[in-house]
């Protein structure tokens, strides 16, 4: 097989698996639709809230701290994406590539230290 064919053959199961996974869920839902009873009742459609009737929609105020963690995560996840190719190729380039990554991680570590000092990592 040529390299391109090999690549195609390697990632074909990913494509097929997406379909097969979805079909699995669909077949379970169809099976349940065939077997399970169903009855219309007015109060069954309300959401669960410890026996109280829910007031207004649930998707309202979200704590600010979740956004802080999300922003920090994006920074570090992008860093991780850069580290992946570096991890396999820095030996070929030599010590220079290694120290460049140290500088890169160092800059982000300063950012983490700043966020830490500002109290962004304190859950309150």
Query: Residue with structure tokens 């991680």?
Result: 105
Q: By CB under 8 A, name the binding residues for another protein.
A: 1, 5, 8-14, 16-18, 20-22, 24-25, 28-29, 31-33, 35-39, 44-49, 54, 57-59, 62-63, 66, 69-70, 72-73, 76-77, 80, 83-84, 87-88, 90-91, 94-95, 98, 101-102, 105, 109, 112, 116, 121-124
**Minimum distance of another protein from residue 114's CB (angstroms):** 13
Angstrom distance (rounded) from CA 43 to CA 47: 9
Residue number with CB closer to another protein (21 or 114): 21
Angstrom distance (rounded) from CA 96 to CA 103: 11
What is the DSSP-derived secondary structure letter of residue 56?
Answer: S
**Minimum distance of another protein from residue 69's CB (angstroms):** 5
In this structure, are residues 98 and 90 in contact, taking their beta carbons and an 8 Å threshold?
yes
What tokens appear for 103 in the block? Answer: 């500088």
Residue number with CB closer to another protein (22 or 114): 22
In this structure, are residues 115 and 70 in contact, taking their beta carbons and an 8 Å threshold?
no
**Minimum distance of another protein from residue 55's CB (angstroms):** 10
């Amino acid at each position: 097989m040529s390299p391109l064919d090999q690549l195609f053959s390697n990632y074909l199961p990913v494509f097929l698996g997406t379909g097969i996974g979805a079909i699995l869920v669909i077949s379970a839902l169809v099976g349940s639709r065939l077997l399970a009873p169903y009855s219309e009742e007015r109060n069954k459609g309300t959401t669960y809230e410890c026996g109280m009737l829910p007031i207004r929609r649930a998707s309202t105020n979200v704590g600010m701290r979740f956004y802080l963690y999300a922003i920090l995560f994006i920074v570090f996840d992008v860093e991780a994406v850069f580290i992946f190719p570096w991890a396999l190729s820095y030996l070929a380039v030599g010590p220079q590539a290694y120290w460049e990554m140290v500088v890169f991680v160092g800059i982000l570590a300063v950012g983490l230290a700043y966020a830490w000092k500002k109290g962004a990592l304190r859950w309150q």
